[in-house]
Each structure stands twice: as C-alpha cells, then as structure tokens.
Chain A
Amino acid sequence: MSVVMFFLAAAAAIIGAIGVVTLRNPLYSVLALVCHLVALAALFLLLRAEFVAAAQVVVYAGAVMVLYVFVVAYVGGGEEVAAGSTLRILGPLFALALAVELFIALLGSALSGIHRYGAPYKLGFGTPEQIGRLFLTDYLFPFEVASLLLLVAAVGAIVLARRRRGLEDGALELKDLLAAPRPAYTGTIAEGVGVRRVREQIEQAHGGVTEVVPAGSAAGSTERS
C-alpha cells in the first residue's frame, strides 16, 4: 500500500514540476506548483513527518500560492516570447548533467553505508508536540531568527511594493480641489441650514440664475445684502 502511495505521489510531484517549467501561461505554472506541493505533502506523510506535511499544505499551497495568484493577476501574466538564445539549449543540458551526477552520487556510492529502510519507528515521531518541544528547547535560536527574518521580509515587501509619490503625472492636490470654481453657497454654513434652497426659490421666482463664486474667494462672504 505504501509502495502504491509512493509511486502515485512521486509521479504527481514530478509531473507537477515539469508542468511548472514547461507551461507557457504563468497562472498554469502556479496551479501546477500547487499540484506539486500537495503531492510532496503526501510524500512527507509517508516519511512520518506529519507536522511538516500539514504546514506544507497550509502555508505553501494555501498562503504563498494565493500571493502568487494575486501577483499574476496584477502583473497580467502574458505569454512570454520564446527566444532562441544559447541558454535555451544549454539549460536542459546542464540540468541533465546535474541529474546524472546526482544519481551517480546517490545510487552508486554514497548510500551503501547507510541503512535503506530507516531507523525503527518510535512513538510520537514528527508530531506537532515533538516539533514544538524541539523548537522551544534545542532549536530556540533558529526559531527566533526565523521570526525576525519574517518580520524583515514583511516590512521589506511593503516598502518595495508601495505606491510612491511623484511617479504618476497629474495627481490632484488638495489645494487644487479647494480652489476649483463651484456654485454659490456650496460648502458653506448657509447651505447646511437650508438658506440656499430658499434663495434658489426666490431666484427662480424672479427669473435669476444662480451666481458662480470665482475661484479662490472666501466662502463666508457670499451672503448678499
């Protein structure tokens, strides 16, 4: 059963990884990465790392991927142009050479000294309780450094991505809004207490038109004697 689960999860993880690299649309790449991450969480479960698997699904496939989807929607993930550069040929060759080298290192020599089936299972291996205890005793310093790093990254991302003043042309200032010409009595206490409506009725009765306050004049001096 675990063999079947392993091959299913491994195939899904590798297919997801290939999808990330080969799909043209960045949104589909992000979705392929979500598939890859969920399959990887299944592999973590097979390795008895329950807490890491849960964190993988919640933090990675949940939060980080939502961030990616938002940025793809903001940037507008268009199709990228395929260029005939030398990297397009050299890149896969490099990856293939790296794969051959790693497989020789893994399967050829290095692992023959280590037992292939792992240490015997002990109760509570990889549970949140055990991980939390280790984080607060043996690994307290990395834990604190990680929290500081998260804070720095959050502040840095806000500083990088915030809207800067002066980049957009034609931005309205408050001064311009106040100096704009407007109908008489708007924005005055006379409008607030209803004087304006009475004046309008009087002016309509006499056939007059509403006067326009010139720009920049004081709002309080519009009372006609």
Chain B
Amino acid sequence: MALDWYLAVSALIFCIGAGGVLVRRNPLVVLLCLELMLNAANLALITFARMHGGEGGQIFALIVMVVAACEVTVGLGLLVAISRRNLPIDVDELHELNG
C-alpha cells in the first residue's frame, strides 16, 4: 500500500476534526474533535516514521498521546467544575472572561 494513502486519510480526519471544533457547541464534543485532530497528526507521524525507517516518529506519537491525555484530564476537570456551579454547558454561553 502506497504511503501517501495514509497521509490522505490523516488529512481527511484532521479536516473533519477542525470542522467539528468550529461547528459544535458542547465543550465535551469540542474536546472529542480535538482528539480527532491529534490522532490525525499521530497517523501522519507514524506514516513518516515508516517512510524513513526510524522510530523517532513513533516516539513522538507516544509523546503526543501523553499530551492528549493531560489535555483531556484538565479539560474534563474544568467541565465538571462548570457543571457543578450550574453554569450552562455551552461554549457560546460561557463568556464571563470576555471583557
């Protein structure tokens, strides 16, 4: 299988994730779409690692997975704090810091 097919799949998934971040209003789904974009980047990294025959790209993909896990943890913590204060779960309604 030619490797540029994998890159095409990666680009498609990234675009779907980017569109989802813009369109959806639930912060939970926005986080899920961020995951989609990070995973697309992971797929591209691993494809390039295969292309060059070195494991550096795979190491980088693992680090990206760690960063994604941290981002999810903090984001979901924020979401729980928001829902505990009975604020609306909607990224358009949360504009308290918007001066």
- Give the chain B neighbours of A98 by CB distance below 8 A: 14-15, 18
**In the complex, are the beta carbons of A157 and B73 less than 8 A apart?**
yes
The winner among B8, B11, B19, B92 for most chain A CB atoms within 10 A is B19
CB of B16 within 8 A of chain A? yes
**In the complex, are the beta carbons of A150 and B69 less than 8 A apart?**
yes
**In the complex, are the beta carbons of A17 and B16 less than 8 A apart?**
yes
> Assuming A26-B26, A75-B28, A160-B81, is B20 touching A131 (CB within 8 A)?
no
> Assuming A98-B15, A158-B77, A161-B77, is B69 touching A59 (CB within 8 A)?
yes
A: number of interface residues (CB 8 Å)? 89
What is the CA–CA distance of A56 and B38 in the complex, to the nearest angstrom?
A: 12
CB of A92 within 8 A of chain B? yes
**In the complex, are the beta carbons of B61 and A52 less than 8 A apart?**
yes
> Assuming A21-B20, A29-B29, is B39 touching A106 (CB within 8 A)?
no
Rounded to whole Å, the gap between the CB of B73 and the closest CB of chain A is: 4
B residues contacting A by CB (< 8 A) are 1-9, 11-20, 22-26, 28-29, 31-33, 35-36, 39, 42-43, 46-47, 49-53, 55-56, 58-59, 61-63, 65-74, 76-81, 83-85, 89-90, 92
10 contacts between A and B (CB under 8 A): A14-B9, A20-B20, A26-B29, A33-B35, A59-B65, A78-B89, A91-B19, A117-B3, A156-B77, A161-B77
A residues contacting B by CB (< 8 A) are 2-3, 6, 10, 13-14, 17-18, 20-21, 26, 29-30, 33, 36-37, 40, 43-44, 46-49, 51-52, 55-56, 59-60, 63-64, 67-68, 71-72, 74-78, 80-81, 83, 85, 87-88, 90-92, 94-96, 98-99, 102-103, 106-107, 111, 114-120, 122, 125-126, 130-131, 134-135, 139, 142, 146, 149-150, 152-154, 156-161, 163, 167
